[in-house]
Amino acid sequence: MDFTLDFDGQKILIEKVYHRKNQIRLTVNKDLQVKIFCSKSTPDYFLLDFIRKREKWIQKHIGKFQEKKVVHEALYTEGSSFRYLGKKYSLHFINRAENYIEIFEDKIIIASAELIEKDKAESILKHWLTQSGKKYFPPIVDKYLAMLSKYNLSIETLYIRPMTSRWGTCNLRSKKITLNALLMQEHPDFIEYVILHELCHLKHPNHSKRFYNFVAEFMPNWQENRRLRGK
């Protein structure tokens, strides 16, 4: 029998896998699948107790993979859905003498003097998200740096670009924070969480309990904000 448990409002399926060893082992993979390995003779009540005692470990590893997983399946075609700051818009391409992108009601208008193919549309929109991020992210970075200043934490460089596998990175040696331009598609509270998350790595370059306690000092509801990814 597999287990479905509620961890802080999040339903998590834990698959039971039998092996010949008497040792009990928990794993979390990049697809957010949780498995518990045990012998057939291990009773369920013992496994449930084992899982409950490692609840924070499971949440930490699921969170770690969620932060690395960046999935955007935009079609970049006429009428397709495209998110901006957590809201859904439909893409519309029009022919104009000058190139520009604007938001009008529930539409994102992409104007161009030439026919836009799918690959070109993707490039144009990612460039737009990058430029938008360069305006949107810095005030948030400054807000949290002001909070972190009591720990003498600061950065030298803020870099924004499209990335495929991470929402952000922190280079402790160079004090450089890199943020994924595709964050501009996410909910504002999730964006704030990611930015604070990366800045907190300046003090704790890991995902330890101390790290998440440090995040909670400045954002007590960080778990709630993290779950807003893709919403």
Over residues 158-195, the pLDDT tens digits come to: 999 998 878 999 998 899 999 999 999 999 999 999 99
93 shares a domain with 39: no
The model's pTM: 0.71
In a domain, 113, yes or no: yes
The residue-averaged pLDDT of 69-77 equals 62
Looking at 39, 68, 97, the residue that finishes a domain is 68
pLDDT of amino acid 189: 97
Residue 93: pLDDT above 60? yes
The structural domain count of the chain equals 2
Residues 174 and 198 occupy one common structural domain: yes
In a domain, 194, yes or no: yes
End residue of a domain, out of 44, 68, 92: 68
**In this structure, is residue 185 part of a structural domain?**
yes
- The answer to whether residues 168 and 191 belong to one domain is yes
Residue 137 belongs to some domain of the structure: yes
Q: Answer yes or no: is 92 within a domain.
A: yes
Residue 133 sits in a domain whose CATH number is 3.30.2010.10
- pLDDT score at 118: 66
Give residue 10's pLDDT.
57
Mean pLDDT of 106-118: 82
> Are residue 218 and residue 144 in the same domain, yes or no?
yes
Distances in Å between the Cα of 101 and the Cα atoms of 76, 129, 184 are 14, 10, 15
Please say which residue of 46, 68, 90 terminates a domain.
Answer: 68
73 domain-assigned = no
pLDDT at 54: 86
Q: What is the mean pLDDT of residues 73-93?
A: 86
Residue range of the domain that includes 9 = 3-68
In-domain check, residue 75: no
Give pLDDT, residue 96. Answer: 84
Q: Are residues 207 and 115 in the same domain?
A: yes
Same structural domain, 56 and 148: no
149 and 111 in one domain?
A: yes
